Every structure is written in C-alpha cells, then in structure tokens.
C-alpha cells in the first residue's frame, strides 16, 4: 500500500500553515505525500491586503513563493483552480492553466487523495446589489489589491496636478473598510515626500458607509466608539445605518435615493465563501456558501474531507454563533488539524474535536493607532487595548504567522532585513 495522500486546496491563512506543519511532520520523513493546490504561485497574508492596496508594504518582497516554500518544508505545490471533486473516486479536478496570452500551459488534471482539506477562504459579499461587480474595487486578493493601488496612485497624480480633492467611498464598516480608510490617510501623507507637493490630507475625502448602527458591529461597542473617534480625528466621514441599493459608475445610491459620489468606489461589505464550493457534490452549504462541518472539522456526510478557515461553517457546542471568519480561526484550525491528521496516520486514532479559543480582535488604524479587545483571564476577563500596545500586538499576529511558516530564527532575520531595507527603499510602493 502506498503512502497516504493529503491534498490541501487553498494556500491562505489556514491552508499554508497546515501544509507547512504536515510537510515537516509527515512529508519530510516519507510518511505521507502532502500537496498544496492554489491558483496563485505565492501567498500574501490576507489581513495585510489593505496595506498592499495603498503601497504601505511591497507584496513582492513580503510574499511567500509556494514552490520555494514547498521545497524547504516537505510538500509539493500544484498550481491550478479546483473545478470539481469526485468523493467516490477520491479525486479532484483542476482546470487547465493558461498564460496571460491564453495559451495552455497545463491541461485539465486530476489529483487523487486519501484525505482532502478545503481551505479556499472567502471574498466580499455583494448581497446581489446591482452594479457592485461592474463599478466597485475590491481587495479580496493580491491581484485586486494591486489593481486598487494602481488606480489610487493614478488618482493621486491627477489630484496633485490639478490641486483638486480626491474622494474615496468604502462600503463596509468592518475591519477591512476601517483599516483601509486609515491607511489611505497614511499613504497621502507619505506621497508628499515623493513629488506630490500639492496633495494634502485636507484634500482627501474618505467616507466609510455601514448599514449597521455602528462600524465594527461584530466587536464590542467600546471598540466601535474608539475606532469611530480615531477615524473622525483623521478626517474620515463615518456614515452608519446607510444601506446601498445600487452602484452607478461614479456613485453609491442608497435605499433613500441619496447619491454618494466618489472618485474611487470600494466594496468591503460582508463575506461569503468561494463560489467554486457550490460546484462540488456531496457538500452541505449554508447561505454564505460555507461548508457545514462537525466538531472534528469534517464536512458533514464525509469521512475524509476536512474544511478549515473562512469557508467552514463550524458550530461548536456551547457557542451561540459559528466560529467567526478570521485569520486566528483559520490558524487555530490548521494547527489542530495538523496534529489530528498525524495522530490518525501514525497511530490510527480518530480525530479529536476542535476547541476554539477566541483571543480577541485588533483593528489597525495604520501608523496612527490600533484598538481592540483581548480575551483572557487578565483583569477577570476581556479587556480593551489601544494605542502603542494594541499596535504592537497587531503586528505580533503577523510575526506569529511568519514563525509558523519559517521558524523563529528566519522570522527574526526577515524582521531585521526589513528594517535595513527601509534605508534604501521608499516608504511606499510607488509603482
């Protein structure tokens, strides 16, 4: 009998740590074949897409190349987009891979598995609102973040040359919308050092539009109030209780027929799992396309198909709501599943139930501040953090992610290399 075949689809905040851990534990020693499938050739941590979009970080330097990472960590990388799964034959089908000119690079392929893990993440939910797909910018992927940066920088050039205001309207007062609004102000302040002498933050008009009564509605009211105050101090207009009915070429139109015009229209409202999951037979999906899973992270009705991250609808005993679609959730699922798959293959023991620990949520307001709530036993329970301490904790989340991928010695070297590179690189990615 051959080695067990483990296939992980999706190299995001959950999938990449999972194949890294499995590759080191099982792949290097020849105890299993571990394969990662993704339609990109590199990984950028999704919580940083708003920084990629404004040029605050250079994703070319920050990205993880799947092929190079696979070689170092004992797994294989297979480029491609999942188009179907045959759970009876235990195979997945990948679409043909073409280059930018449309020429076929790889044909349609099938990959066999003994254990399949779906970690395909999520994207913004347009809720069927007319005009969103045609007129709005998104930052759900590296490509979309790059497209936003290109349009933003061009809009800044135009505004600087004509000494005119630049307006950005963002639908969605969740973490993505709030963080992007603050990051835009930081980008404008930095661009003044790179030839945009006429462009000033006073000329930047950013509006965050949220349908709920307050921004960051899934977090505590105290965090929401603090974030609102800090955004307003930057000059951001926060509009709550406003529902967008449709989108036109240069404006959001509310359900009360108010037109909110802007040079750049951004949609960052809500999330739903990838559409490709609707084309896979044998999965039970909820209204957000998420796969219903049991407490072992197994897809309901399946014996060897696991689901982790934003695309998993996981209802655990004692919890009123499903596990929220956050990077920390995906990371915890990845670490848990890596241990359980190893126990299953090495000791033939059934997987143990997943236990989720909510460590709280932090929202970055660029270099200006951070706010959030941490969970724990300190001070008897949850506690509010802001300012420098919250900012350091927010940054540490990414460093922990890097440590999983590279180990602490290499993570520290990457940190030091980043510090030195700032001496010769611009403080914004300008192209």
pLDDT at 265: 98
Q: Does the structure show a pLDDT above 90 at 146?
A: yes
Q: Are 393 and 373 in contact (CB under 8 A)?
A: no
> Among 320, 316, 267, which Cα is nearest to 140's?
267
pLDDT tens string 325-359: 889 999 999 999 999 999 999 888 888 999 999 88
* Long-range contacts, 31-34 (Cβ 8 Å, 24+): 31/3, 31/4, 31/345, 31/346, 32/3, 32/4, 32/5, 32/6, 32/345, 33/3, 33/4, 33/5, 33/6, 33/76, 34/6, 34/8, 34/74, 34/75, 34/76
* Confidence at residue 371, expressed as pLDDT on a 0 to 100 scale: 78
What is the average pLDDT score of the chain? 90
Over residues 58-67, the pLDDT tens digits come to 888 889 999 9
Output the pTM of the full model.
Answer: 0.92
For 243-260, what is each residue's pLDDT tens digit? 999 999 999 999 999 999
Burial class (CB in 10 A: 0-12, 13-18, 19+), 117: buried
pLDDT of residue 381: 53
Residue located via tokens 């020693």: 29
Cβ atoms of 202 and 232 closer than 8 Å: no
d(CA 291, CA 175) in angstroms, rounded, equals 23
Q: What's the pLDDT band for 377 if we cut at 50, 70, 90?
A: very low
Cα separation, 270 vs 62, in Å, equals 26
Residue 427 has pLDDT above 90, yes or no: no
Mean pLDDT within 143-158: 94
Is it the case that residue 375 has pLDDT exceeding 80? no
- First-to-last alpha carbon distance for the chain, in angstroms, is 53
Mean pLDDT of 164-182: 95
* pLDDT tens column, 14-61: 999 999 999 999 999 999 999 999 999 999 999 899 999 998 888 888
Average pLDDT value for residue range 375-402: 72
Dig out the tokens for 352 from the structure.
Answer: 């143990």
Confidence at 207, pLDDT banded by 50, 70, 90 = very high
| Paired tokens of 136 | 């709005």
φ, ψ of residue 96 in degrees (nearest 5):
-60, 145
């Amino acid at each position: 009998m051959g080695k067990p075949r483990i296939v992980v689809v999706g190299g995001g905040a959950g999938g990449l740590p999972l194949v890294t851990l499995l590759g080191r534990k099982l792949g290097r020693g020849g105890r299993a074949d571990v394969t990662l499938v993704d339609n990109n050739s590199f990984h950028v941590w999704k919580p940083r897409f708003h920084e990629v979009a404004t040029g605050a970080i250079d994703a070319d330097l920050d990205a993880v190349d799947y092929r190079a990472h696979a070689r170092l960590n004992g797994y294989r990388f297979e480029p491609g987009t999942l188009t179907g799964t045959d759970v009876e034959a235990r195979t997945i089908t990948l679409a043909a891979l073409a280059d930018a000119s449309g020429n076929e690079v790889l044909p349609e392929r099938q990959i066999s598995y003994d254990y399949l893990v779906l970690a395909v993440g999520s994207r913004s939910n347009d809720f069927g609102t007319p005009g969103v797909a045609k007129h709005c910018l998104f930052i759900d992927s590296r490509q979309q973040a790059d497209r936003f940066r290109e349009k933003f920088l061009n809009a800044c050039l135009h505004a600087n040359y004509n000494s005119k205001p630049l307006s950005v309207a963002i639908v969605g007062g969740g973490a993505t919308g709030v963080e992007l609004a603050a990051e835009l102000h930081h980008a404008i302040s930095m661009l003044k050092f790179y030839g945009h002498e006429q462009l000033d933050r006073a000329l930047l008009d950013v509006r965050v539009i949220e349908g709920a009564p307050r921004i960051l509605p899934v977090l505590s009211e105290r965090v929401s109030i603090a974030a609102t105050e800090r955004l307003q101090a930057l000059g951001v207009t926060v509009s709550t209780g406003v529902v967008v009915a449709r989108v036109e070429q240069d404006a959001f139109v509310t359900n009360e027929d108010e037109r909110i015009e802007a040079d750049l229209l951004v949609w960052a409202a809500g999330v739903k799992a990838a559409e490709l999951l609707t084309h896979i037979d044998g999965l039970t999906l909820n209204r957000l396309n998420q796969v219903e899973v049991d407490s072992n992270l197994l897809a309901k009705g399946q014996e060897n198909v696991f689901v982790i991250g934003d695309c998993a609808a996981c209802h655990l005993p004692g919890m009123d709501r499903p596990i929220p679609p956050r990077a920390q959730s995906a990371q915890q699922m990845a670490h848990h599943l890596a241990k359980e798959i190893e126990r299953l293959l090495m000791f033939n023991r059934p997987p143990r139930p997943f236990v989720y620990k909510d460590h709280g949520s932090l929202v970055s307001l660029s270099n200006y501040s951070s706010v959030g709530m941490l969970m724990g036993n300190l001070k008897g329970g949850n506690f509010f953090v802001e300012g420098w301490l919250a900012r350091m904790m927010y940054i540490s989340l990414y460093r922990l992610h890097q440590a999983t991928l590279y180990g602490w010695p290499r993570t520290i070297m990457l940190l030091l290399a980043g510090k030195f590179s700032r001496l010769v690189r611009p403080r914004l990615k300008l192209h």
